[in-house]
């Protein structure tokens, strides 16, 4: 099977919503920003590394908005540099976006990193680096967003980018596994804590997706075949297929859903082999 070349038209579901997406210069975060723009949102594209890549996402988001008839939103998209692994920088980023727009409706905690070493050799320095980005950064951004959501009648929503490794252990990636497990529990705890105050918190758990984080196998035919042979649907997923789930969860179509993780993984968590 292969990913659909086109997807069915969906009504623009994020008209005039303002969304901050972390780690959006490439991969899943970039696809989410472009999809949100296409559905009517104004987006802030956070990046920590390449400004050029962030500007490319910005260009694509502007095109998507313009094509969909949201030319005013197209002019309001922006990029914002911040290392979400640095608590102060993460907080300053949310404050900056709020000062600029005066509002925030959707926070997507997507930035994430991983590294491999056997657990007994995993350095604590590397452990803290991964946890700071994947987990602490998501919490700091969520806190700032929630303070804003509570200050106004409309509430708001958070969508976290978790992983199938929220549930399935990933040997050799102890920090990543712990960070995603924590993100799953953060999703459920925040959801319960703020459920009665107009704030929904959910997560998407991707399986094996064709992005740079998987460069170790995605450009090597044999390695990719091996990965895909372990996926019940027989193929890796695309960033666009993830963006569909992020758009649904952020929209009012998911108005009665909170504290949930949607596993978008081609059946990987079913252990179908
Ligand atoms: P990617 O490496 O292309 O994207 C990661 C993004 O996070 C990049 O834009 C990167 O610049 C950004 N980032 C890294 N450190 C940052 C920091 N300190 N501050 C701000 N941004 C930072 O890979 P991706 O697959 O698009 O990853 C996005 C998310 O999806 C991650 O949370 C990852 O764990 C998750 N995920 C990916 C897969 C997959 O198979 N690709 C599977 C499960 C979960």
pLDDT tens-digit profile of 108-126?
999 999 999 999 999 999 9
**pLDDT band at residue 9 using 50, 70 and 90 as cut-offs:** confident
Q: State the catalytic residue, choosing from 47, 176, 194, 263.
A: 176
Task: For residue range 222-244, list pLDDT tens digits in order.
Answer: 999 999 999 999 999 999 999 99
Residue ranges per structural domain of the chain: 18-268
Report the nearest-CA residue for atom 17 of ligand 1.
83
206 lines ligand 1 (CB under 6 A): yes
**pLDDT band at residue 98 using 50, 70 and 90 as cut-offs:** very high
pLDDT of residue 1: 75
pLDDT of residue 253: 97
* ipTM of predicted assembly, 2 dp: 0.99
Task: Supply the DSSP string of 9-53, one letter for each residue.
Answer: ------TT-EEEETT-SSHHHHHHHHHHHHTT-EEEEEESS-HHH
The predicted model gives 18-47 an average pLDDT of 98
Q: Is the pLDDT of residue 220 over 60?
A: yes
Tell me the helix, strand and coil percentages in the chain, rounded to 5.
50, 15, 35
113 lines ligand 1 (CB under 6 A): yes
Please give the number of the atom of ligand 1 that sits closest to the Cα of 210.
Answer: 41
For the chain, the average pLDDT equals: 96
184 lines ligand 1 (CB under 6 A): no
Task: For residue range 130-144, list pLDDT tens digits in order.
Answer: 999 999 999 999 999
266 lines ligand 1 (CB under 6 A): no
83 lines ligand 1 (CB under 6 A): yes
Kindly give the distance from the C-alpha atom of residue 151 to the centroid of ligand 1, in angstroms, as a whole number.
Answer: 30
Task: For residue range 252-263, list pLDDT tens digits in order.
Answer: 999 999 999 999
Q: What's the residue count for the chain?
A: 273
Task: For residue range 66-90, list pLDDT tens digits in order.
Answer: 999 999 999 999 999 999 999 999 9
- Residue 45, CA distances (Å) to 18, 25, 56, 63, 130 in order: 11, 7, 10, 15, 21
pLDDT of residue 59: 98
Kindly give the distance from the C-alpha atom of residue 84 to the centroid of ligand 1, in angstroms, as a whole number.
Answer: 12
- Under DSSP, is residue 57 helix (H, G, I), strand (E, B) or coil? helix
Please give the number of the atom of ligand 1 that sits closest to the Cα of 83.
Answer: 19
Q: Is 194 part of the annotated catalytic residue set?
A: no
Task: For residue range 146-181, list pLDDT tens digits in order.
Answer: 999 999 999 999 999 999 999 999 999 999 999 999
Sign of CA dihedral 186, 188, 193, 195: positive
Class of 18-268 in CATH: alpha beta
């Amino acid at each position: 099977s292969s990913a659909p070349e086109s997807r069915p038209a969906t009504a623009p579901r994020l008209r005039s919503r303002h969304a901050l997406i972390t780690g959006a210069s490439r991969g899943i975060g970039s696809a989410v920003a472009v999809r949100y723009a296409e559905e009517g949102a104004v987006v802030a594209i956070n990046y920590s590394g390449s400004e050029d890549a962030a500007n490319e996402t910005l260009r694509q988001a502007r095109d998507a908005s313009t094509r969909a008839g949201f030319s005013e939103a197209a002019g309001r998209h922006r990029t914002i540099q911040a290392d979400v692994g640095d608590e102060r920088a993460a907080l300053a980023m949310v404050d900056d976006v709020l000062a600029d727009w005066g509002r925030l409706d959707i926070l997507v905690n997507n930035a994430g990193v991983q590294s491999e070493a056997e657990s007994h050799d995993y350095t604590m320095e590397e452990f803290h680096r991964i946890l700071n980005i994947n987990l602490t950064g998501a919490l700091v951004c969520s806190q700032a967003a929630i303070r804003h959501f509570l200050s106004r009648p409309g509430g708001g929503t958070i969508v976290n980018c978790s992983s199938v490794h929220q549930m399935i252990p990933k040997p050799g990636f102890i920090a990543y596994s712990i960070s995603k497990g924590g993100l799953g529990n953060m999703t459920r705890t925040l959801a319960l804590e703020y459920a009665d105050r107009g704030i929904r918190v959910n997560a998407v758990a991707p399986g094996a997706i064709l992005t740079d984080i998987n460069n170790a196998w995605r450009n090597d035919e044999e390695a990719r075949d091996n990965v895909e042979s372990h996926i019940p649907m027989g193929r890796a997923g695309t960033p666009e297929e993830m963006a569909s789930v992020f758009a649904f969860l952020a929209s009012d179509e998911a108005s009665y859903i909170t504290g949930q993780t949607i596993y978008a993984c081609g059946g990987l968590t079913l252990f179908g082999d």
